[in-house]
């Protein structure tokens, strides 16, 4: 009896415990969820589901290139390292001073290739993930995918082309990095192999490229279409041809240039006042400046990164050329060199300086009025130019454009660049001074030059064949015309490097500099003519600067020390590898 009682009370106790356990279970169930997702972000698991996801990642790749950390570097690498730009006396930026003094440290901020790899990785991510979206979202068609893919392949190739031109030996990765566990340390490849990969990608991209006529608004210039892809191809072939002294590559360059020119011509819409169809769809000199840099997205433009000043601002151009830190800044970090002054070394045509060139007045401010007077007007002024004799109208004054919301596109390729590439390639392909290709090249240059000459002076001031009828003088003319036409547009240093490479022999683009150093090979000495051109910008110490740039490795930037620290398989450019033999006491 007692036993039964005990048992029942035991059972009762257990029953009493049930609600408690219930309580406990509920408590557990409610909170077992340890997966927490952020409120303001989308996680990967929920992304890559729709067409708009892909589209915003594609534009995201372009957007990552808008970053001033990218454009600032492009400007310094191309224009500031060349004879175009010099630092202002105040404010000074150590990194710029180092470059100007040809004393680049491995900690120099402009040796950071990271921002370009960030763009590359964004392209890689789209290339890796977009394809699968076709299976999820039926509205994302194969056609959509292929044009997206084409843009990403081309953008990636463009970035690698910049890297090769500025670092020579760079790591190549087409892998989309998403996880921290992935293998990250990759060695540098030879520039030749990287360029070959770029060309393959671009040719692949060309097949399914965006049609240049697909859009009529900014998208016809702001997205990489077939014209843009061919422009990059032409540029790479021209570059490789100059290094390898290869006629086939020059021919390739010319053929791509022709395709672009044809495409531009075919898509040209005749303007009401255009009575005779022009040979090339280029704006006339006084309009050119407005169309290209003020209105922007000009007809003759091929690819330019879009800044609208609302969601983004072109801080790189603004800070370097216009206002370095705030609205009250009176100068940028850089100004034009004296080449653009009244001596007008670069505007000498037919052995005579001519002030009827619009560009002479449009590019810089107040020619020769004081030490800091050569600040750049191109891409910073928003004043529409008036017509009339530029020589009487003089240069633009500095107009007050706001520091922030700097809606200034950054132009990568435009038609006159392509035409001059073609002229450069044809000049090189000319067998001798009699070659008809020289005359053809001259005509292209003359067309570009003439459109910027004040019309009434055209007969007296346009280029005369008699002054440029040799291969050598023609090469110089093209180089000079490129400087006049494309100054501050990120071209000059590469023009000079091509000029140099054409004049030297023994360049081995299939091995890295570090390998060459290990094998004990002598580095190729740079061409003195080219160095003399570069050092024109120095008022003093030019020769010292030239002697510091004596061999090929010096043409390139060092690998940032931070990169060397974190990636043991990287090799420093031999020009910058420091002597670590000293022992430290700590």
Partner 1 sequence: MSNKRIILSVVLALMSIGIYAQSRRISGTVIDPQGPVMMANVTERDANDRIVSASQTDINGNFSMEIKSPNNKLVITYVGDKTKTLTIGSKETFEIKLDADDHTLTEVVVKGARTSSGGLFIPKREVSVTQQTFNMDAVEGMSFTTADEALQGEIAGLDIVSNSGNLGSGTTMRLRGVTTINGNANPLIVVDDKIFDNPDQTFDFANANEEQYASLLSVNVEDIASITVLKDAAATAIWGANGANGVIQITTKRGVRGKTRINFSYKFTGTWQPKGYKLLNGDDYTMMLKEEFYNPSQEATSTTNIAELNYDASWAEYENWNNNTDWVKAVQQFGEMHSYNMNLTGGGQRAQFRISAGYDQQTGSIIKQKLDRFSTRLVLDYNVSDRIKFSTNFALTYTGNDMNYSGLLGIAQQIAPNMSIYRQNADGTDTNEYYIMNPSGNASGSNNPYTGNFSSYEMRDVRGMGNPIAIANLAWKKDQTYRITPDFAVKYELLGTGADQHRLTFNGRIDFDIYARSVPTYYPAALATDIWTSNSYNVSTNTESNRFKMGGLVELIYTPYFRNKDISVMMLARYEMATAKSNGQDITMNRLPDGIISPTVPADLQEMSSYNSRSNSQDWIYTAHAAYKGRYIAGFSLRADGNSKFGPKNRWAYFPGVSFRYNIIDESFMKSLHSWLSMAALRASWGIVGKAPDADYLFYSTYNTSAGYYGNGNTSLPVAKIDGLKLDDLRWEKTTSVNLGFNFGFLNDKIEVDFDWYHKYTKDLLQRSVSIPSTTGYSSVAYANVGSMTNDGWEMNINARDFIKIGKFAISAGVNFAQNYNEIKEMDQRVLDAVNSKWSATSRGAYLNRVQVGNALGSIYGFRSKGVYQYSYEYLQNYQKENSLSPLAYEGWVNEQLAAGRTFPIAVGADGKAIMTSNGEPQHLVYNYDAGSSTYVFQGGDAIYEDINHDGQINALDIVYLGNSLPKLQGGFNFTFRYGRWSLKTRFAYRFGNKVVNAARMSLQQMSSTGNQTAAVNYRWRKDGDVTPMPRAIYVDGSTAAYNYQGSSRYVEDGSFVRFNNLQLAYNFDKKKIKKWGLNNLQLYLSVNNLWLWTKYSGTDPEISTGGWGVAIDDSRTPRSKSFTASINIEF
Residues 543-582 contacting partner 1, CB under 8 A: 562-563, 565-568, 570, 582
How many Å apart are CA 71 and CA 317, to the nearest integer? 8
CB of 555 to partner 1, least distance (A): 21
Q: Which of 43, 269, 276, 371 binds partner 1 (CB under 8 A)?
A: 43
Give the footprint of partner 1 on residues 63-92 (CB under 8 A): 63-64, 66
Helix (H) or strand (E) holding 70: helix 68-75
The contacts of residue 222 (CB under 8 Å, 6+ apart) are 62, 297, 303, 304, 305, 306, 409
Q: Which of 78, 82, 124, 190 binds partner 1 (CB under 8 A)?
A: 124
CB closer to partner 1 out of 45 and 432 = 45
Q: Which of 87, 191, 212, 222 binds partner 1 (CB under 8 A)?
A: 222
**Where does this chain touch partner 1 (CB under 8 A) — which range of 121-129, 145-153, 256-264, 341-349?**
121-129
CB closer to partner 1 out of 106 and 263 = 106
Q: Which alpha helices (DSSP H) does 406-560 contain, by range?
A: 415-429, 436-451, 458-461, 471-486, 492-503, 513-518, 528-534, 542-548
Query: How many degrees, rounded to 5, is the angle at CA 101 between CA 96 and CA 106?
Result: 65
How many Å apart are CA 230 and CA 236, to the nearest integer? 10
User: HEC states along 504-532?
Assistant: CCCCCCCCCHHHHHHCCCCCCECCHHHHH
Give the footprint of partner 1 on residues 395-454 (CB under 8 A): 407
The contacts of residue 359 (CB under 8 Å, 6+ apart) are 285, 347, 452, 484, 485, 487
Q: Which of 100, 117, 256, 447 binds partner 1 (CB under 8 A)?
A: 117
102 φ/ψ sector (left φ>0, alpha ψ -120 to 50, else beta): left
Give the footprint of partner 1 on residues 356-375 (CB under 8 A): none
Of the candidates 299, 257, 304, the residue with the CA atom closest to the CA atom of residue 278: 299
SS3 assignment, position 336 = strand
Dihedral over Cα of 185, 168, 231, 378: its sign: positive
User: What would the x/- binding string for partner 1 be over residues 295 to 314, using CB under 8 A?
Assistant: -xx--------x-x-xxx--
CB closer to partner 1 out of 22 and 397 = 22
CB closer to partner 1 out of 184 and 472 = 184
CB of 368 to partner 1, least distance (A): 24
CB of 535 to partner 1, least distance (A): 19
Q: Which of 3, 4, 182, 371 binds partner 1 (CB under 8 A)?
A: 182
CB of 186 to partner 1, least distance (A): 6
Give the footprint of partner 1 on residues 479-538 (CB under 8 A): none
CB closer to partner 1 out of 531 and 570 = 570
Longest dimension (CA), the chain: 132
CB of 556 to partner 1, least distance (A): 16
Residue 586 sits in the site that holds partner 1 (CB under 8 A): yes
CB closer to partner 1 out of 94 and 352 = 94
The contacts of residue 267 (CB under 8 Å, 6+ apart) are 212, 213
**Where does this chain touch partner 1 (CB under 8 A) — which range of 110-118, 418-426, 502-510, 528-536?**
110-118
How many Å apart are CA 151 and CA 119, to the nearest integer? 12
Number of amino acids touching partner 1 (CB under 8 A):
91
How many Å apart are CA 484 and CA 333, to the nearest integer? 22
How many Å apart are CA 6 and CA 8, to the nearest integer? 5
CB of 369 to partner 1, least distance (A): 21
**Where does this chain touch partner 1 (CB under 8 A) — which range of 15-23, 139-147, 384-392, 448-456?**
15-23
CB of 586 to partner 1, least distance (A): 5
Q: Which of 38, 143, 370, 520 binds partner 1 (CB under 8 A)?
A: 38
**Whole-angstrom distance between the N-terminal and C-terminal Cα of the chain?**
86
Query: Cα torsion for 87, 88, 92, 95, to the nearest 10°?
Result: -10
How many Å apart are CA 472 and CA 54, to the nearest integer? 50
Q: Which of 103, 384, 460, 510 binds partner 1 (CB under 8 A)?
A: 103
CB closer to partner 1 out of 125 and 253 = 125
**Where does this chain touch partner 1 (CB under 8 A) — which range of 122-130, 251-259, 501-509, 548-556?**
122-130
CB closer to partner 1 out of 114 and 388 = 114
Give the footprint of partner 1 on residues 45-64 (CB under 8 A): 45, 47, 52-53, 55-57, 59-60, 62-64
How many Å apart are CA 124 and CA 117, to the nearest integer? 10
Q: Which of 89, 139, 185, 270 binds partner 1 (CB under 8 A)?
A: 185
CB closer to partner 1 out of 528 and 566 = 566
Residue 4 sits in the site that holds partner 1 (CB under 8 A): no
Q: Reply yes or no: is the peptide bond before residue 91 cis, omega within 30 of 0.
A: yes
Query: Cα torsion for 507, 511, 516, 521, to the nearest 10°?
Result: -40
CB of 144 to partner 1, least distance (A): 14
CB of 297 to partner 1, least distance (A): 7
How many Å apart are CA 549 and CA 103, to the nearest integer? 10
CB closer to partner 1 out of 126 and 478 = 126
Residue 7 sits in the site that holds partner 1 (CB under 8 A): no
Give the footprint of partner 1 on residues 312-341 (CB under 8 A): 312
For the chain, the residue count is 586
CB closer to partner 1 out of 308 and 510 = 308
Calculate the CA 255 to chain-centre distance: 23
């Amino acid at each position: 009896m007692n036993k039964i009682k005990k048992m029942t009370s035991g059972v009762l106790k257990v029953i009493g415990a049930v609600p408690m356990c219930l309580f406990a279970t509920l408590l557990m169930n409610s909170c077992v969820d340890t997966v927490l997702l952020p409120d303001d972000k989308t996680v990967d698991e929920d992304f890559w589901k729709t067409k708009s996801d892909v589209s915003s990642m594609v534009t995201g790749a372009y957007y990552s290139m808008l970053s001033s950390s990218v454009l600032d570097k492009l400007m310094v690498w191309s224009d500031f390292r060349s004879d175009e730009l010099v630092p202002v006396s105040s404010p000074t930026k150590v990194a710029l001073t180092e470059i100007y003094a040809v004393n680049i440290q491995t900690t120099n901020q402009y040796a950071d290739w990271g921002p370009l790899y960030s763009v590359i990785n964004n392209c890689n991510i789209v290339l890796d993930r977009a394809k699968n979206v076709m299976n999820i979202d039926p509205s994302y068609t194969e056609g959509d995918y292929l044009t997206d893919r084409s843009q990403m392949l081309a953008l990636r190739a463009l970035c690698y082309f910049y890297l090769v031109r500025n670092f020579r030996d760079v790591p190549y990765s087409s892998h989309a990095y998403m996880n921290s566990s992935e293998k990250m340390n990759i060695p540098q490849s030879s520039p030749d192999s990287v360029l070959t990969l770029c060309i393959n990608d671009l040719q692949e991209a060309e097949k399914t490229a965006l049609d240049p006529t697909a859009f009529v608004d900014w998208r016809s210039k702001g997205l990489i279409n077939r014209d843009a892809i061919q422009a990059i191809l032409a540029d790479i072939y021209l570059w490789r041809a100059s290094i390898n002294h290869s006629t086939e590559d020059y021919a390739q360059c010319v053929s791509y240039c022709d395709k672009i020119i044809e495409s531009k011509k075919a898509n040209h819409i005749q303007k009401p006042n255009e009575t005779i169809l022009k040979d090339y769809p280029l704006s006339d000199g006084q309009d050119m400046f407005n169309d290209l840099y003020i209105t922007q997205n000009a007809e003759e433009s091929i690819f330019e990164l879009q800044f609208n000043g609302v969601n983004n601002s072109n801080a790189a151009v603004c800070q370097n050329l216009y206002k370095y830190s705030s609205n009250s800044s009176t100068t940028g970090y850089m100004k034009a060199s004296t080449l653009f002054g009244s001596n007008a070394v670069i505007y000498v045509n037919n052995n005579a300086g001519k002030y009827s060139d619009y560009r002479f007045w449009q590019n810089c401010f107040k020619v020769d009025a004081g030490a800091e007077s050569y600040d750049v007007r191109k891409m910073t002024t928003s004043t529409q130019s008036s017509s009339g004799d530029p020589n009487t109208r003089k240069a633009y004054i500095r107009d007050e454009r706001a520091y922030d919301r700097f809606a200034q596109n950054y132009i990568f390729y435009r038609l006159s660049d392509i035409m001059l590439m073609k002229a450069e390639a044809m000049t090189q392909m000319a067998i001798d001074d009699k070659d008809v290709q020289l005359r053809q090249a001259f005509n292209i240059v003359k067309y570009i030059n003439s459109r910027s000459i004040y019309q009434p002076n055209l007969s007296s001031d346009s280029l005369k064949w008699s002054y440029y009828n040799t291969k050598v003088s023609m090469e110089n003319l093209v180089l000079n015309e490129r400087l006049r036409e494309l100054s501050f547009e990120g071209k000059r240093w590469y023009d000079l490097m091509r000029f140099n490479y054409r004049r030297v022999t023994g360049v081995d683009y299939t091995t890295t500099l570090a390998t060459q150093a290990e094998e004990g090979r002598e580095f190729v000495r740079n061409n003195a003519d080219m160095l003399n051109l570069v050092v024109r910008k120095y008022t003093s110490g030019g020769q010292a600067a030239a002697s510091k740039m004596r061999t090929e490795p010096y043409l390139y930037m060092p690998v940032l020390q931070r990169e060397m620290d974190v990636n043991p398989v990287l090799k420093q450019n031999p020009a910058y590898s420091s002597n670590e033999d000293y022992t430290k006491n700590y």
